[in-house]
Amino acid sequence: MTKVQDLMSKDVKVCTPHEPVTAAAKIMRDINCGSVPVCEGKKVVGMVTDRDIVLNCVADGKDCSSIHCHDVMTSDVITCSPDTDAHECARLMSDNQIRRIPVVQNGELVGICAIGDLATVDIHINEAGDALSDISRPLQ
């Protein structure tokens, strides 16, 4: 049984709630992803997505260097633990239409599991593909 800890990235780039959204956008650009965990210390308090920034800052004509991550982040974050089964992680992504899940142990961020991480394990290719299909479908 493959666990999330076997697939996750351990070197996670994060931003703090009071950093400007431009900091989160630069991380997304630099590591080529669409979301960044927002942390106070090692505790995940939110996630900022590229969509959050566009809808809550850019589209409203706000100055992205003066709007903070906590102003646009999602604070109801879906997380998993390092010993979460990879199948369960794929189901969480599918059910919640998300592509990256912070991995938390004892309340602290220890990694992140992305849809692409699941696709690297042969046995999970179909599950990852199914999850991505569900993630990409419009919400009802």
pLDDT digits (tens, 9 = 90+) for 53-86: 999 999 999 999 999 999 999 999 999 999 999 9
Q: Are 68 and 20 in contact (CB under 8 A)?
A: yes
The DSSP element (H or E) to which 4 belongs, if any, is none
Q: 4-136 in CATH: which number? A: 3.10.580.10
Contact 16, 38 (CB under 8 A): yes
Q: Read off the pTM.
A: 0.83
- Give domain limits for the chain: 4-136
Q: pLDDT tens digits for 85-120?
A: 998 999 999 899 999 999 999 999 999 999 988 887
